[in-house]
Amino acid sequence: MTQAGYKQFCPVAMAAEVLCTRWTMVLMRELVAGTTRFNDLRRGVPKMSPALLSTRLKELEIAGVVERIPLKSEKGVFEYHLTDAGKDLRPVVEAIGLWGQKWVESSLSLKNLDPSLLMWDMRRNLDPSPLPSIRTVVQFLYSDLPASKSHWWLVIEPGGEVDLCWSDPGFEVNLYVTTDLRTMTAIWMGLATIESERDKMELLGEKKIAKTMQVWLGLSPFAKQEKLAG
């Protein structure tokens, strides 16, 4: 580990030496969510430098939390999978997330807006079951962001696979969603609903897809937690 350590035999201190370095628990969130490729992990932690990500993955590997597995189908490409010790951290990560949802003030959470992380999380948690059994394309336009960050596309294939695009994929768009980043983030976190924020949103396109958006959006896994902080 890169930190000096607490030099205590207490299991909490020993675990903290592994898990409480900067970015480690956020990286664990991505690994617990099932992300295995380095570039996909980067998309889940967009403000973490590639060098630090490599360092943290190596530290977790040394600690026996993850294992690096070479792909036979792609030379020089590796995947990072949780070991049994890593899988045991799932309830720990979930408990921290639920605590944060419950006790951290909403205004503080919504100061840390990040369109790439929001869209990546939306892609990962989207529920395709209410959508038509054909390719469905939803374009998001964030009116408060510069042009380079304002347009995003979710492409949902009939089999349920969801792709996130930064540039126009060239498919016909089924639903256009125009809003501001704070509103969409609040909805995804479960701090608001599409119905409560309709005056801040414009939904244009197929009515059935728009009507079921609250369902297929696939909210944050922590959205179910009741908010007790302001």
pLDDT band at 4 (very low <50, low <70, confident <90, very high): low
Nearest 5°: phi and psi at 36? -125, -25
Spell out the residues 6+ positions from residue 126 whose beta carbon is closer than 8 angstroms to its own. Answer: 154, 156, 162, 216, 217, 218
pLDDT digits (tens, 9 = 90+) for 18-44: 999 999 999 999 999 999 999 999 999
Q: pTM, whole model, 2 decimals?
A: 0.83
For residue 68, give the 3-state DSSP assignment.
strand
pLDDT digits (tens, 9 = 90+) for 163-218: 999 999 999 999 999 999 999 999 999 999 999 999 999 999 999 999 999 999 98
Tokens of 51: 């060098």
- Model pLDDT, residue 1: 46
pLDDT digits (tens, 9 = 90+) for 72-127: 888 888 999 999 999 999 999 999 999 998 998 877 777 888 999 999 999 999 99
For residue 92, give the 3-state DSSP assignment.
helix
The DSSP line for 206-226 is -HHHHHTHHHHT---TTTTSP
Spell out the residues 6+ positions from residue 21 whose beta carbon is closer than 8 angstroms to its own. Answer: 1, 2, 3, 56, 59
